[in-house]
């Protein structure tokens, strides 16, 4: 399938939730499957020449943990939890999970193009009750060096909920969190440890009940202790914000450019 040029321009302009990706930014941080949920991932070749794009669907354990997931693709070859697609310029591949398991499972997708050619991608998470759509959430590709490691938070509503999701393929990572009020003043510091997990989910009020009634922003920074200094520094994230029964996704969070480069050691 080849898209009309005006649709390609819409993607590039951000009308649709797509973003270009480089050798560092390459994650769709959240995939839902089961318990009424299924996910559709859309990838478009933004290069001026054919591109081979690879999508790997991973559980929170990363490559070390098998995820019994069933996939189908409109354009590409499915092998276990990986899809390889050779796309012409402007061509699209749509990959869907089956959504059949009774239990909800959550993971993420690592994407890359052979030769690091630019492409765009987004995931659409859909919750259904039979034929009725209960909820639809769109997750954009986390692009390289967006430097948006800041999340606005309003936890003053008792019904509000904020779940932060981080993804990394390094061995171990420490996340340093700073919570600042609406004037910018620092009110609290916390830490989250990846603990050899490729993906972590943190419900802020459950993990840090002291944040009840907090209004302001959460800033995050990353430490790479030990063996991580020998690895590529790649980490991405997002926030699920729940209020009035509806879930929204914050802007993708990525490492700042000075943290995302390969370690000099």
Three-state secondary structure call for residue 242: strand
201 & 75 share domain: no
Residues 172 and 218 in one domain: yes
Cβ(139)–Cβ(109) under 8 Å?
A: no
Note whether 174 and 107 are same-domain residues: no
Q: Are 228 and 170 in contact (CB under 8 A)?
A: yes
The model's pTM:
0.83
Residue 221 lies in a domain: yes
Do residues 29 and 132 share a domain? yes
- CATH number where 51 lies: 2.60.290
Q: What is the pLDDT of residue 73?
A: 94
Distances in Å between the alpha carbon of 107 and those of 27, 58, 67, 158, 236? 11, 6, 9, 28, 13
Query: How many domains does the chain contain in total?
Result: 2
Higher local confidence (pLDDT), 207 or 231: 207
CA distance 161 to 178: 18
Judge if 135 and 191 occupy the same domain: no
**How far out from the chain centre does Cα 170 lie?**
16
Q: Which tops the pLDDT comparison, 154 or 227?
A: 154
Q: How far is CA 167 from CA 64, 109, 184, 224, 235, in A?
A: 14, 10, 27, 14, 6
Domain match, 66 and 181 both: no
C-alpha distances in Å from residue 177, one per residue of 8, 17, 151, 152: 37, 27, 11, 13
Tokens 């070390």 map to which residue? Answer: 64
pLDDT for residue 230: 57
Q: Is 53 contained in some domain?
A: yes
Which helix (H) or strand (E) segment is 29 a member of?
Answer: strand 27-33
Residue 74 has pLDDT above 50, yes or no: yes
CA dist 179 and 216 (Å) reads 7
- Distance between CA 50 and CA 52 in Å, rounded? 7
What's the pLDDT at 237? 85
Mean pLDDT over 213-226 rounds to 81
- In a domain? residue 145: no
pLDDT at residue 126 in the model: 94
Same domain as 211, residue 129: no
Are residues 135 and 166 both part of a single domain?
no
Report the pLDDT averaged over residues 47-75. Answer: 90
Tell me, yes or no, whether 34 and 121 share the same domain: yes
Q: Which of 218, 237, 246, 219 is nearest to 154 (CA)?
A: 218
| Residue 265 forms part of a structural domain | no
3/162: higher pLDDT:
162
Give the helix/strand (H/E) hosting 113.
strand 105-113
Q: Within 13 Å and on the Cβ side, how many CA atoms surround 141?
A: 28
Q: Tell me, what DSSP letter sits at residue 196?
A: T
Q: Tokens 């949920």 appear where?
A: 37
**234-250: pLDDT as tens digits:** 778 888 888 777 788 87
Task: Give me the domain span that covers residue 10.
Answer: 5-140
User: Which residue, of 140, 166, 194, is where some domain finishes?
Assistant: 140
């Amino acid at each position: 399938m080849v898209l009309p040029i005006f649709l390609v321009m819409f993607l590039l302009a951000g009308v649709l939730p797509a973003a270009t990706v480089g050798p560092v930014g390459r994650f769709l941080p959240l995939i839902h499957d089961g318990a009424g949920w299924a996910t559709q991932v859309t990838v478009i070749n933004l290069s001026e020449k054919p591109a081979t794009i690879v999508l790997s669907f991973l559980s929170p354990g990363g490559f070390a943990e098998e995820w019994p997931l069933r996939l189908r693709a409109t354009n590409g070859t499915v092998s276990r939890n990986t899809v390889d697609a050779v796309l012409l310029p402007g061509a699209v591949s749509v990959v869907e999970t089956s959504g059949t398991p009774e239990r909800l499972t959550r993971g993420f997708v690592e994407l890359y193009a052979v030769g690091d050619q630019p492409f765009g991608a987004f995931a659409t998470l859909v919750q259904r009750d039979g034929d009725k759509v209960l909820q639809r959430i769109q997750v954009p590709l986390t692009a390289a060096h967006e430097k948006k490691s800041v999340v606005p938070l309003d936890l003053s509503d008792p019904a509000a909920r904020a779940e932060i999701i981080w993804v990394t393929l390094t061995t171990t990572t420490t996340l340093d969190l700073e919570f600042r009020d609406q004037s910018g003043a620092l009110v609290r510091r916390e830490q989250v440890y990846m603990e050899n997990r490729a993906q972590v989910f943190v419900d802020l009020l459950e993990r840090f009940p002291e944040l009840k009634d907090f209004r302001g922003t959460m800033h995050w920074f990353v430490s790479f202790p030990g063996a991580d200094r020998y690895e590529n520094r790649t980490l991405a994230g997002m926030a699920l914000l729940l209020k009035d029964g509806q879930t929204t996704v914050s802007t993708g969070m990525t490492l700042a450019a000075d943290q995302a480069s390969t370690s000099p050691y």
